[in-house]
A and B are shown apart, each in its own frame.
Chain A
Amino acid sequence: DTGVSQNPRHKITKRGQNVTFRCDPISEHNRLYWYRQTLGQGPEFLTYFQNEAQLEKSRLLSDRFSAERPKGSFSTLEIQRTEQGDSAMYLCASSPGTGSANYGYTFGSGTRLTVV
């Protein structure tokens, strides 16, 4: 297992277009998280899944954002009608979940979105 994989690494899109990012977590991890990081800031929580169930969504996740994890494995994050303010690094992380000896997440390298 090579860790958490995110694709694409970079995405440049025109304002108003839709974009979709993919995250492949560590295979035995049942929790998957999405965070957004803007330049010079710490990551901000967007949403997380326990298997295929989306358990929590941040108020940052507007109606234009939707995340899925249909089979409890990989996840997609879609942004509709992108705005310049959506430009950021989108980070995915996974963890074994509660009750595990590993309390930290494993983060992917992120997808950098630039909206022009």
Chain B
Amino acid sequence: GEDVEQSLFLSVREGDSSVINCTYTDSSSTYLYWYKQEPGAGLQLLTYIFSNMDMKQDQRLTVLLNKKDKHLSLRIADTQTGDSAIYFCAESKTAGNMLTFGGGTRLMVKP
């Protein structure tokens, strides 16, 4: 079955880069997503990448995909205190299909 794993916690200083990692087991995963969840709120889509891509950059966000190792990472440049939240990676096999989420990584940004 599908399994998506993330480390639980990451702490960085304001202005540093943050790198949040994710591994998945299903080689048929086609779409990979990063979501952000702030306390008491729903999930906000940050970015996504197709499995035929290695990298995608969107302003301060860079997604790297190593399909061979089934490893996905999200790099946040110049991390701000407002970036403190829980970050979830998720995968799906087809667009618009069900998502399988990891357990989330809590990012704490210290001033």
Contact = CB atoms under 8 A, between A and B. Distances in A.
Interface of A: 4, 31, 33, 35, 40-45, 48, 56, 58, 91, 93, 95-100, 103-110
Interface of B: 4, 31, 33, 35, 40-45, 48, 88, 90, 94-104
Contact of B103 (A31, A42, A58, A107): A42
Main DSSP-derived SS at the A contact region: loop
A43 to B, nearest CB: 5
B42 A98 contact: no
Given A108-B42, A110-B42, A98 B98 contact: no
A104 B48 contact: yes
A91 B103 CA distance: 15
B88 A100 contact: no
